[in-house]
């Protein structure tokens, strides 16, 4: 019954979305990739908002239900039949009586099963497509033969762009870069590599010394494009993943003939989304790297790189299950365990799959009495609170269904700010 009702909702919302798109014909910018979609969406919005009337997908509205909700400007009704009927009614009213609409839609195109990207392209054909990254072991592989099949499905976004459109591709991901030969659209590449059209250089952390402590504040780098070399500082966000998002946003600005120097100036106010490598004050004068939005192997390795680079008396890795990895589950978690053993002073794992992280770290010579593995989150939180000391830097990361933000909430210095700083605070707490 639920599946039948879901199919009806999807059909109705898709029908209403097509009417809206036919009536108002907004420019559609679509983003796909294994990592970085949401940060890229936020950066694109930050670039375009001063110049255009823009609507972006909220939260992770990147599915066959989420994309129509964004198009129609509606909220997810969760499990409520009544609110889904209300959504369908509101959608119909918008189709008939709306007289204004955003000039630009910024959409995320997510992937669960083969054919998902094709459905979204058919519903909302983009003129600008951004392909962020794939990685060697992407998520959602249960229904695919491997990373090549995932890339092929996501690559449909780039292959189906119009000749007068733009394909914005990550120059540093060879699988993504291959699609410059598979599109009719004009190609703009971005990355750290020498051949990228929009290139980042001189990347470094911004550190501040206060009260005999070194406190990370953000990142700085230079943007190189067409002979211009412009410095940019981002406060409150860390990691090269933020740089990639910003470069992709700038590439959209370049595609739309906006002035790069002006865009860089506006991006100084860019704030990375919650749960993406954000630094938060923790208990006992510690600091937390909050990367709890989600977890893939590629993103987890990037988070560990940041844990390695930031200064701290001790470094603690709190890692939850990485889901939707299919037959790569053990391999991916063990690779994380091998890397974590070289970086962390203490390792906490949460979940049955993350136990492979702990096992691998132990096999690599990490002291067993400094590895803590739990299946019950409350037990982990209790031990983590006990073990935390002044000057510790604590990375917390795991797939969204592991609800790792609850751990952050329990060890942050100001839990009253959780709604403002953490992800999924409006989810039902179950």
More confident residue, 342 or 266: 342
Which residue shows structure tokens 């294994």? 34
Kindly tell me if the per-residue pLDDT of 143 is higher than 70: no
d(CA 382, CA 151): 41
Fold designation for 2-199: 3.40.1190
- Average pLDDT of the residues of the chain: 93
Contact between 130 and 31 under an 8 Å Cβ cutoff? The reply is: yes
- DSSP letters along 240-287, please? HHHHHHHHHHHHHHHHTT--HHHHHHHHTT--PPTTSSEEEEEGGGEE
Q: What integer pLDDT is reported at residue 139 of this predicted model?
A: 64
Q: Class assignment of domain 278-420?
A: alpha beta
pLDDT-derived band at 429 (thresholds 50, 70, 90) equals: very low
Kindly indicate the confidence band of residue 428, based on its pLDDT and cuts at 50, 70 and 90. very low
| Whether the predicted pLDDT of 80 surpasses 90 | no
Cα separations (Å) of 113 from 71, 122, 149, 231, 372? 22, 16, 11, 41, 35
Alpha carbon 300 to its chain centroid, in Å, reads 12
Q: What's the pLDDT score for residue 146?
A: 67
Euclidean distance between the first and the last CA atom of the chain, given in angstroms as a whole number: 23
Local structure of 82: helix, strand or coil: helix
Every domain range in the chain assigned CATH 3.40.1190.10: 2-199
What is each CA distance from 150 to 106, 119, 317, in whole angstroms?
A: 22, 15, 29
Alpha helix (H) ranges present in 139-239? Answer: 147-159, 174-177
Q: In the chain, which residues fall in CATH 3.90.190.20?
A: 278-420
- Residues 345 and 315: their CA atoms lie apart, in Å, by 5
């Amino acid at each position: 019954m639920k599946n039948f009702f879901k199919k009806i909702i999807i059909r109705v919302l898709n029908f209403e979305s097509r009417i809206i798109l036919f009536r108002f014909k907004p420019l559609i910018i679509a983003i796909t990739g294994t990592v970085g979609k949401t940060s890229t969406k936020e950066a694109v919005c930050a670039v375009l908002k001063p110049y255009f009337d823009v609507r972006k997908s909220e939260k992770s509205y990147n599915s066959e239900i989420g994309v129509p909700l964004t198009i129609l400007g509606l909220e997810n009704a969760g499990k409520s039949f009544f609110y889904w009927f209300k959504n369908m009614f509101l959608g119909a009213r918008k189709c008939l009586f709306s007289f204004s609409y955003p000039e630009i839609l910024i959409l995320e195109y997510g992937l669960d099963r083969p054919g998902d990207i094709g459905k979204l392209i058919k519903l909302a054909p983009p003129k600008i497509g951004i392909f962020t990254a794939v990685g060697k072991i992407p998520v959602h592989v249960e229904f695919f033969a491997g990373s090549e099949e995932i890339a092929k499905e996501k690559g449909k976004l780039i292959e189906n762009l119009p000749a007068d459109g733009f394909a914005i591709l990550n120059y540093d991901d060879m699988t993504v870069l291959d699609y410059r030969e598979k599109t009719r659209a004009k190609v703009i590449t971005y990355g750290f590599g020498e051949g990228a059209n929009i290139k980042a250089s001189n990347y470094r952390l911004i550190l501040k010394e206060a009260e005999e402590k070194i406190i990370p504040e953000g990142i700085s780098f230079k943007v190189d494009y067409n002979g211009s070399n412009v410095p940019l500082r981002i406060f409150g966000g860390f990691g090269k993943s933020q740089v990639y998002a910003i470069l992709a946003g700038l590439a959209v600005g370049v595609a739309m003939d906006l002035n790069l120097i002006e865009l860089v100036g506006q991006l100084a106010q860019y704030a990375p989304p919650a749960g993406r490598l954000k630094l938060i004050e923790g208990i006992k004068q510690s600091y937390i790297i909050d990367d709890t939005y989600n977890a893939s192997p590629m993103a987890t390795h990037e988070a560990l790189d940041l844990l390695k680079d930031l200064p701290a008396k001790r470094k603690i890795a709190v890692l939850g299950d990485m889901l939707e990895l299919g037959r790569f589950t053990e391999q991916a978690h063990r690779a994380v365990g091998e890397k974590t053993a070289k970086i962390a002073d203490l390792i906490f794992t949460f979940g049955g799959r993350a136990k492979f992280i702990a096992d691998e770290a132990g096999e690599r010579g990490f002291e067993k009495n400094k590895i803590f593995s739990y299946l019950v989150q409350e037990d982990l939180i209790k031990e983590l609170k006990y073990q935390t000391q002044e000057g510790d830097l604590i990375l917390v990361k795991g797939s969204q269904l592991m609800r790792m933000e609850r751990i952050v909430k329990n060890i942050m210095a100001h839990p009253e700010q959780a709604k403002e700083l953490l992800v999924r605070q409006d989810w039902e707490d179950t």
